[in-house]
Structure 1
Amino acid sequence: MFEYFIEYFSALVELSNAMAPYILFGLVFAGVLHELVPQSIVKNHLGKNSLYSVIKATLFGIPLPVCSCGVIPLAAGIKKSGASNGSTLAFLISTPITGVDSILATYGVFGWIFTLYRVVTSMIISIIAGVLTNIYTQKEEKIVVDKPESCSEASCCSSSCESEKRSFRMSAALVYAFSTLLKDIASPLFIGLLLGALITVAIPNNLSEILLQYNWLSYIIVIIIAVPMYVCATASLPIAAGLMLAGVSPGAAFVFLSAGPATNTVTIGVVKKMLGERTLYVYLGTIVVGSIVFGLGLDYIFKDVDVRELVHVDENFGIFTLLSSLILWAFVLYYMIKPYFFKENECEDGSCCSS
């Protein structure tokens, strides 16, 4: 029993170390964007329940080198700034699947055809998810999502609401990142880390043999593993390449590359809280169905794929990574226990009231 606990704790530490730097980077980046980009720009370009807004959100997310957990605070930031549910979800899906670093790494492992296919299909999945969200979740959007920190609220008691133009302050960006955004995602992040570590321990070591044994069911098996599992887009490449070298079809490997970075237990919890239950169903359904359909299409296109040149991932975590993990856990645990020891104040973040 003690050995299982040690194994689980080790998996939790490794998962935290893998995610923490990206989450902290995403928080800081979101805070900087919040200070630099006027909320009117987000509202005007991403706030409408239109196809054009969804497409712009998708294109904006494609090149960003942010993983499936680092994108969470960015998505929360644009949502709080007035983006629609559909635009937020499209950004949340397109960003972690690709990214400049992942695109280049994919090209190095699988070639330009596979890379182009991955980028285009991720755009299609994101746009479809965003459009369906805008169609089916308009009523829920008003209930679930807090209104952005803008001048629409009569309760705002500062003359600074007269204009959204303000000078950049790094201190304000950090306060917004680690007080407002991290507080919103602390609970699902905590639960997701615990579940993610449990899933990591439960995955069998002979995964390749299982996928080879169940040829057509390999898609379903990969989906079951990839959806709740945390894996960055770049880190997923050597896993997919290893599966293909073991005999798994390119389509099944593509399913892992698509569904793995786009979903995990952390993001699932955040999507439900931030965008609502209906959006969660659209989010999971679109990714699962889209990944399988495009995986089958890739199997049709490719007969043989040369994946000899693998991407190597360094599993040795440095001081910076360990420090990031400690900082993240300190904030998460603080916001988890804070309601039990401190009375919540409606305007404690200072966004509307100073008194």
Structure 2
Amino acid sequence: MIIDILKEFWLMTAEMGYSLLIGFLIAGIFSIFISPEFIQRHLGKKGVASVIKAALMGVPLPVCSCGVIPVSASLRKNGASKSATVSFLISTPQTGVDSIVVTYSLMGVVLGIFRPIAALLTGIFGGFLEALFDSGEEVDNENIEIEHNCSGGTCKIADNKQKKGIKEALKYGFIELPQDISSALLIGLLVSGIISILVPDDFFASFLGDNVLLQYVVMLVIGIPIYVCSTGSIPVAVALIMKGISPGAALIFLMSGPATNAATISTIWKIMGKKTLIIYLTTIGISSLVAGYIFDAFFGVIDISASHDHIMDLPLYKHISAGLLIFILFFSIYKKYQKSSQITEKEKEAQMELIVKDMTCNHCVKAIKGMLEQKFDVKADIDLSTGKVLIEKELNRDEVIKEIEELGYTVDHS
């Protein structure tokens, strides 16, 4: 049984390996062209245009539902309208260039195109709802001083704009981005293997019957509270379809799972208010259900089996790409924990130490580092795995904690 699960794990890795490697490369190249000023300039005004631009910018960015929080908080703090911020907040985590390429590869051209379009329209819909129902809380952007280095760099998608080049693109695409998604992706691949081997082919038919609407609701209820990245959700969705879930129901999981999770929900409540949270969740719920229904109604069945070969039938390049992908994922995990050991050495030199919760990716690390450099002119070492923030000199502790918590994180006050 374990051998069979591992075979399915390898099969799925091989099927998505080459496309995900291409996605990593595109994401790395894409990252060097996105500057904080660019985002700030286009999202810093009220109106329909900023909402649409926010969604358009969010769709290709490979940022998870937790990593998008500090980005959105910075946009809001630096003058972006609340509606544009919500649009960006909803559209960004649902897809990225990496997940778009993998969706196309594993689930076909129709869903590969439909998924990012659904994410785009969901973000626009959420932004319009925010403008309609929560317009009284908008800020006067003209009275906000826009800091051209993005208030602490919290909207840095890659490194600062002085660091442009192929080296930085490769570092982001093949080290930093894999660090952010490696655990979720490996878990997704493993869950996919378990579903493929242990779940009977007629399980969902016997459990949910022919009630497609019930499938929709179940996928939505599962998707909203859990943490899964836009790429890691794909192998799970493929396995679910192969076991009888409709493509539309799988799409609901692909939209709602990456878009939010329990930690993101509590953070949005804290930094943007209850009304915005309700709009955020309502948008994701309604849009996911509508998108799933439309996909099933107009496109129906998609051929997953065509992309799921027997392990002996796989061409050599797929085995090689699978090996490369596994190496990159485990190397990124190694680099993450190697940094933890280096942090231990630096603790002796640090003048101030904080424990920050809710950090899940390198975007979170850059958000806090950028804020400390901008606001306090200090450098910091941050260990993502433990949440330790080591600051090179003593500062006003309460003031630092306040600034970090304004980004949407929780600081241990003990």
TM-score scaled by length of structure 1: 0.64
Report how far residue 97 of structure 1 moved. Answer: 1.2
Verify: 1:250 aligned to 2:251, yes or no.
Answer: no
Q: Deviations over 1:41-85 (max 9, x none)?
A: 73x632344221100111111111222222222222212221111
For the Cα contact (< 8 Å) 2:63–2:92, is it kept in 1?
A: yes
C-alpha separation between the residues in 2 aligned to 1:152 and 1:226?
A: 37
Candidates 342, 345, 348, aligned match of 2:399: 345
In the TM superposition, 1:1-355 aligns within 5 A as: 33-34=35-36, 37=37, 42=40, 45-141=42-138, 152=144, 173=153, 211-212=204-205, 213-215=207-209, 216=211, 217-308=214-305, 309=307, 318-322=333-337, 327-331=383-387, 344-345=398-399
Supply the AA of the counterpart residue of 1:327.
D
C-alpha separation between the residues in 2 aligned to 1:224 and 1:139?
A: 31
Q: Deviations over 1:288-346 (max 9, x none)?
A: 111111101111123321113369785857312435778125436899xxxxxx86238
C-alpha separation between the residues in 1 aligned to 2:274 and 2:390?
A: 27
Supply the AA of the counterpart residue of 1:331.
G
Root-mean-square deviation (CA, aligned residues, Å) is 4.1
For the Cα contact (< 8 Å) 1:50–1:131, is it kept in 2?
A: no
Secondary structure of 1:231 counterpart: coil
Mark the CA change 1:151 to 1:85 in structure 2 (over 3 Å): closer, same or farther: closer
Q: Deviations over 1:245-265 (max 9, x none)?
A: 011111110000011111111
For the Cα contact (< 8 Å) 1:211–1:221, is it kept in 2?
A: no
For the Cα contact (< 8 Å) 1:49–1:134, is it kept in 2?
A: no
C-alpha separation between the residues in 2 aligned to 1:65 and 1:345?
A: 31
Secondary structure of 1:111 counterpart: helix
Q: Deviations over 1:192-242 (max 9, x none)?
A: xxxx9xxx9xxx987887643114311111111100111111111100000
Report how far residue 93 of structure 1 moved. Answer: 1.3
Partner in structure 1 of residue 171 of structure 2: none
Supply the AA of the counterpart residue of 1:84.
S
Supply the AA of the counterpart residue of 2:334.
I
Mark the CA change 1:288 to 1:333 in structure 2 (over 3 Å): closer, same or farther: farther
TM-score scaled by length of structure 2: 0.56
C-alpha separation between the residues in 1 aligned to 2:398 and 2:64?
A: 32
Partner in structure 2 of residue 156 of structure 1: none
C-alpha separation between the residues in 2 aligned to 1:348 and 1:302?
A: 50
C-alpha separation between the residues in 2 aligned to 1:332 and 1:51?
A: 41
For the Cα contact (< 8 Å) 1:140–1:276, is it kept in 2?
A: no
C-alpha separation between the residues in 1 aligned to 2:71 and 2:106?
A: 29
C-alpha separation between the residues in 2 aligned to 1:122 and 1:79?
A: 21
Mark the CA change 1:347 to 1:226 in structure 2 (over 3 Å): closer, same or farther: closer
Supply the AA of the counterpart residue of 2:301.
D
For the Cα contact (< 8 Å) 1:141–1:276, is it kept in 2?
A: no
| Percentage identity across paired residues of the two chains | 35
Secondary structure of 1:318 counterpart: helix
Partner in structure 1 of residue 22 of structure 2: none
Moved more, 266-275 or 292-301: 266-275
